[in-house]
Homo-oligomer: A and B are copies of this chain.
């Protein structure tokens, strides 16, 4: 019988997000490692599944296809304790998920990618990536005042989505040292997800 198939790259935080959710919820899945640097997502076979050529991509057990890391997470986690039962908390989780894709990933993940994988020098990188990304990290640090998790009092998809690139922010040249609530939260979410500590 077919089971969930996740196409992704292990160096992409976006790809790891649905993987972590499947692992935590004990959803059986096959992982298809995609070499995004070698252009695996541009091969005809993959493009026939996802014309946008993006990973992660989920092929569900019934062979239907779903893209967008946060949409895949929401689908896999529906009805689980990773989605807050309270309507307002659930809405705040959505707020973090959209903020992550609009204001966090395009600065922090993009600068990490260009710096750590495309080997661009700091001088060649748009300075706005650093200032906007650092502001996003400060915003998270402020939001975590007096809290263990971003939403409510337990782990939710908001934490899963945001830890993915926040824990790797130093690879993008971002400084976490002045953000003690954020570093405490990173370590805490890493433990909750069974990830090796980055610090």
Determine whether the beta carbon of B101 is less than 8 Å from that of A74.
no
Interface pick from A91-99, A117-125, A191-199:
A91-99
Q: Would you call A88 an interface residue if the criterion is a C-beta within 8 Å of the partner chain's C-beta atoms?
A: yes
Write out the residue numbers on chain B whose beta carbons fall within 8 Å of the beta carbon of A87: 75, 78
Write out the residue numbers on chain B whose beta carbons fall within 8 Å of the beta carbon of A94: 68, 70-71, 74-75
Determine whether the beta carbon of B95 is less than 8 Å from that of A67.
yes
The A160-189 residues at the B interface (CB cut-off 8 A) are none
Determine whether the beta carbon of B106 is less than 8 Å from that of A91.
no
A52 to B74 alpha-carbon distance, docked (Å)? 25
Write out the residue numbers on chain B whose beta carbons fall within 8 Å of the beta carbon of A139: 51-52
Q: Nearest Cβ distance between residue A3 and chain B, in whole angstroms?
A: 16
Chain A residues with a Cβ under 8 A of chain B: 51-52, 60, 64, 66-72, 74-75, 78, 87-88, 90-92, 94-95, 97-99, 101-102, 105-106, 139, 142
Besides A66-B91, A78-B90, 17 other CB < 8 A contacts?
A: A51-B139, A60-B88, A66-B88, A66-B92, A66-B95, A67-B99, A68-B94, A71-B91, A71-B94, A71-B95, A74-B94, A75-B87, A75-B88, A75-B91, A75-B94, A98-B101, A102-B106
